[in-house]
């Protein structure tokens, strides 16, 4: 299903810049969309927020314990240890537990997959998340400990360190698949899997047009789905132009003699969609599925 929808999308919108093909171990070609920088940043910020929230709660507990005067040093240590675990295991745990997506990734519909199409191994997840320390926490630390310009040579020394580390952190901007250093090491890739919502039926109950069987035999399931996608597009000048174009094409192809006025285009297409869909469904009931127009119709097979 998803593959057919992808085919319709590429037909209507042309090839997308972020489209990549991966091949699963069974030899099936899957098309995936590489997540773009904005999505990944948002996902990270959400995760960072959750993580900070959890850490903040921990410290709040610690502060309360301090106020209550329950053995300060031990409580501090335990809290610091849990905070350390939280920082290092948050991403690893969630990517293992929910098929390569942390809560932030889940909200933004991102997923981690193996770049070669193979299984995503736990080792790869650990690899891509251990590197996070160098990519995010090290630059942050260096940034906040950056000395003033007036400290002379030391300023330039730490500025050079910071610049170098920032270059590593900026790796996603320098390659085609938006891979960060951790992805490079682990052989993974972050893809975007937008959720498709189910829409209402398009089929009209009564139509003003009647089509003959030979007229409906011109097209197959793929063309029907393209038409459906076109009818579902939000109304705009561009959409109506495309619809008129498609309408003219259909008319010439099926030999529809009377001209369809511009304002009746959508109505005509809707009627044609209803009739074509009913026809194809009926044919399929008789075991005669037709994928697209290049396949011969059942009557002539």
Partner 1 sequence: MLRAFFVVYGPRVGIMEALGQFLRTGFPQAVRGAAWHLALAAATIAAGVVVGIVLVESNEIWFSALVPDGLAGGRGPASTAADLRDKEIFAPWPGFIASFVVTANALFRHNATIGIMIFGLGIAGGVPTLLLLGYQGLVIGAFLALHYERGLLLDFIGWISIHGVTEIGSLVVCGAGGLVVAEKILFPGRYARLANLARHGTAAAALAGGAVLMLFVAGIIEGGLRQLVGNTPVRLAVGILTGAFWMAYFLSNRESRRHGPAT
Task: In angstroms, give the least distance from the CB of 32 to partner 1.
Answer: 7
For residues 189 and 33, is the Cβ–Cβ distance under 8 A?
Answer: no
- What length is written for the chain? 301
Per CB under 8 A, 74 contacts partner 1? yes
**Stretch of residues binding partner 1 (CB under 8 A), selected from 37-45, 59-67, 71-79, 225-233:** 71-79
The gap from C-alpha 25 to its chain's centroid, in whole angstroms, comes to 22
Task: In angstroms, give the least distance from the CB of 171 to partner 1.
Answer: 9
Question: In whole angstroms, what is the distance from residue 267 CA to residue 278 CA?
Answer: 17
Per CB under 8 A, 103 contacts partner 1? no
Residue in 54, 65, 78, 231 binding partner 1, rule: CB under 8 A: 78
| Residue with Cβ nearer partner 1 (53 or 121) | 121
Residue where the block lists tokens 């960072």: 48
The strand pairing partners of 189, in sequence order, are: 113
**Stretch of residues binding partner 1 (CB under 8 A), selected from 56-64, 94-102, 248-256, 291-299:** 94-102
Question: In whole angstroms, what is the distance from residue 101 CA to residue 107 CA?
Answer: 9
Q: What residues from 234 to 253 belong to the interface with partner 1 (CB under 8 A)?
A: none
Task: In angstroms, give the least distance from the CB of 101 to partner 1.
Answer: 9
Count the site residues for partner 1 by CB under 8 A: 58
Q: Which one, of 244, 213, 230, lies nearest residue 8 by Cα?
A: 230
Q: Which one, of 251, 253, 255, lies nearest residue 264 by Cα?
A: 251
90 burial via Cβ count (<10 Å: 0-12, 13-18, 19+): buried
Interacting residue ranges for partner 1, rule: CB under 8 A: 1-3, 24-25, 28, 30, 32, 71, 73-74, 76-78, 80-81, 84, 88-89, 92-93, 95-97, 99-100, 111, 113-128, 130-131, 133-135, 138, 164, 168, 179, 181, 184-187, 193
């Amino acid at each position: 299903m998803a593959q057919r929808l992808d085919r319709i999308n590429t037909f209507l919108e042309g090839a997308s810049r972020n489209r990549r093909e991966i091949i699963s171990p069974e030899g099936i070609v899957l098309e995936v969309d590489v997540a773009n920088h904005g999505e990944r940043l948002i996902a990270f910020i959400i995760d960072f927020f959750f993580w900070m929230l959890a850490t903040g709660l921990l410290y709040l507990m610690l502060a309360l314990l301090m106020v209550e005067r329950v053995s300060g040093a031990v409580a501090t240590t335990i809290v610091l240890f849990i905070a350390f675990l939280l920082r290092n295991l948050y991403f690893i745990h969630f990517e293992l537990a929910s098929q390569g997506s942390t809560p932030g990734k889940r909200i933004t519909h991102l997923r981690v997959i193996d770049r070669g199409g193979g299984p995503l191994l736990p080792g790869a997840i650990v690899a891509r998340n251990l590197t996070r320390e160098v990519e995010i926490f090290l630059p942050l630390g260096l940034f906040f400990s950056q000395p003033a310009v007036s400290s002379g040579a030391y300023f330039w020394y730490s500025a050079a360190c910071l610049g170098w580390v920032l270059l590593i952190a900026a790796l996603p901007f320098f390659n085609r698949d938006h891979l960060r250093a951790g992805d490079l090491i682990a052989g993974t890739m972050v893809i975007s899997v937008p959720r498709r919502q189910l829409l209402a039926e398009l089929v009209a109950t009564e139509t003003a047009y009647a089509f003959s069987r030979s007229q409906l035999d011109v097209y197959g399931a793929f063309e029907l789905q393209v038409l459906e996608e076109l009818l579902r597009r939000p109304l705009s000048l561009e959409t109506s132009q495309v619809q008129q174009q498609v309408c003219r094409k259909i008319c010439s192809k099926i030999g529809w003699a009377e001209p369809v006025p511009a304002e009746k285009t959508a109505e005509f297409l809707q009627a044609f969609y209803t009739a074509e869909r009913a026809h194809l469904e009926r044919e399929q009931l008789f075991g005669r599925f037709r994928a697209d127009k290049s396949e011969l119709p059942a009557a002539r097979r």
